[in-house]
Amino acid sequence: MHCYEVLWNCVRFMRAVPSPRKRAQPLLPDATEAQLIGDGGTLSSDENAMDDEGTGGSDGETRLQRPKGKKRAQLEKKEASIDRSMAHSQRRLARATTEQVGILKEQLQVAKQKIRIMQEQSEMAIMTAYKGDLTEYGAKYILLRQKRHLDAYKRQLEQEDCDAENRPAGQHHEQQHEKDKYAENLHNQCDAESI
């Protein structure tokens, strides 16, 4: 029986001993600390169940996750690039919208200035209208329009005077003196033409 015992202990004929794995699973650096939780270094039943789900077995080894395949890595890279391009396009759209709003505001200001200039031109055309070629009713109409413009101008000057109380005194008096002279000249001109 001596030969039988030699063969029995030979590695080649040992069937009870599991064969070694072809590739060893790497352990996490904190594997021993992750296993020893709580008092006495044992895992509770809930933690043991979570550990079994996370590692894929109850052999006590904490394994790394399986590496990504080429297809999954390419898919994630494509999704990330799509997300980046969408965020970039959203930023460009927001920037274009704010620029468009700014342009519209400027156009509104220009339109308001145009209207104001056109009103001033029409007022000046009425104030400087030649009444020699007009009929009696036409001349009276022009005089009435001129008086309306003068009254409106006086109201505007009074409003500006109320608003100008917060200005420095010297600047306020100079502007007021110039406006009064201009209004008197226009009023005298209208009175002279009506005579």
**Residue 63, helix vs strand vs coil:** strand
Q: Please, are residues 192 and 185 in contact by the beta-carbon 8 Å criterion?
A: no
User: For the segment 12-37, what is each residue's pLDDT rounded down to a tens digit?
Assistant: 766 666 666 666 665 555 545 445 44
Quick check: 169 pLDDT over 80?
Answer: no
Domain contains 184: yes
pLDDT tens figures, 110-136: 999 999 999 888 888 888 877 778 788
Q: What is the pLDDT of residue 56?
A: 47
What pLDDT score was predicted for residue 29? 54
Say if 168 falls within a structural domain.
yes
Rg of the Cα atoms in the chain: 48
For the chain, what is the largest distance between any 2 Cα atoms, rounded to a whole number of angstroms? 155
pLDDT digits (tens, 9 = 90+) for 43-80: 444 444 444 444 444 444 556 788 888 888 888 888 98
For the segment 74-110, what is each residue's pLDDT rounded down to a tens digit? Answer: 888 889 889 888 999 999 999 999 999 999 999 999 9
Is residue 141 domain-resident? yes
Q: Domain tally for the chain? A: 2
How far is it, in rounded angstroms, from Cα 56 to Cα 128? 99
**Phi/psi at 27 (nearest 5 deg)?**
-95, 150
For position 128, what pLDDT does the model report? 81
Are 126 and 146 spatial neighbours (Cβ–Cβ below 8 Å)? yes
What's the pLDDT at 193? Answer: 58
> 159-187: buried (b, 16+ CB within 10 Å) or exposed (e) per residue?
eeeeeeeeeeeeeeeeeeeebeeeeeebb
156-169 average pLDDT score: 75
Specify if 34 maps to a domain: yes
Domain presence at residue 79? no
In a domain, 100, yes or no: no
Containing domain of residue 25, as a range?
A: 2-55
**Residue 146 exposed, middle or buried by CB count within 10 Å (0-12, 13-18, 19+):** buried
First to last CA, the chain: 155
Angle between helices 136-163 and 70-127 (to 10 degrees): 120
Average pLDDT, the chain: 74
Q: What pLDDT sits at residue 97?
A: 94
Percent of the chain with pLDDT over 70: 61
